[in-house]
Amino acid sequence: MRRGGGGARGARILASLFATALALGVVFLAASCTGDEAGAGTDETFHGGAGDLPGRLPDDVSFRKSPRNALAAPEFSAALIDGTSVTASDLWDDRPVVLAFTASACSECGAVLREVAAVVEEHAGAVALLAVVREDDLEGAREFAEDQQLEFPIALGSERVWLSYAAEEPPLVVLVAPGGRVLRGWPGGVDGTDLDAELDKLYKKSGAEN
């Protein structure tokens, strides 16, 4: 009888433990689902990441060939601040790219980025902007992107990338023509009017051969 009673109590205990585990599992699953949904919402509004990469080049836009005497832009691949990988040549394959070497702790860089971004935005998807920060500036870049509501991608460039563009101190703005030739570089930043004038020179006018 004692064995039978002990077995019954053991069964009841196991059943109780199973029910508790099941309940905890349901709670955990619900929490996980809620977390995934929240994460998805965050990804959709993440500033400086893949969502800010340029889309397809507008159909009514074409550019002149890159000057042959211009230096080839150093190729590089890097992770954006949301972890997405980007390759620079994929951006300048069909459009001009403005590279802005910057840092979250740079007092001048915010104003330079905003001015450059305003010019690029006026070109309605025909020009790409890629900000480049050092690899150890991830958290600062994320905070800056969110605070400023930036709408262009920010890449984590290695020391090799910075050296290849002679970017010793930020800010540095570099204009790369379609096809990957460096046209201009502006240490310390660039006036928006000057950048806009350089970009306008790249457009292929209607009926022009080059």
Question: If DSSP codes are grouped into helix, strand and coil, which group holds residue 207?
Answer: coil
Span 147-166, pLDDT tens digits: 888 889 999 999 999 999 99
| 14-28, 139-153, 159-173, 184-198: segment of lowest average pLDDT | 14-28
Q: Contact 127/202 with Cβ under 8 angstroms?
A: no
Structure tokens given for 164:
């290849």
Question: If DSSP codes are grouped into helix, strand and coil, which group holds residue 129?
Answer: strand
Span 65-122, pLDDT tens digits: 888 889 999 999 999 999 999 999 999 999 999 999 999 999 999 999 999 999 999 9
| Angle between helix 138-148 and helix 109-122 axes, rounded to 10 deg | 60
Average pLDDT over residues 6-13: 42
Three-state SS annotation for 53-95: CCCCCCCCCCECCCCCCCCECCCCEEEECCCCEEEHHHHHCCC
**H/E run at residue 186:** strand 181-187
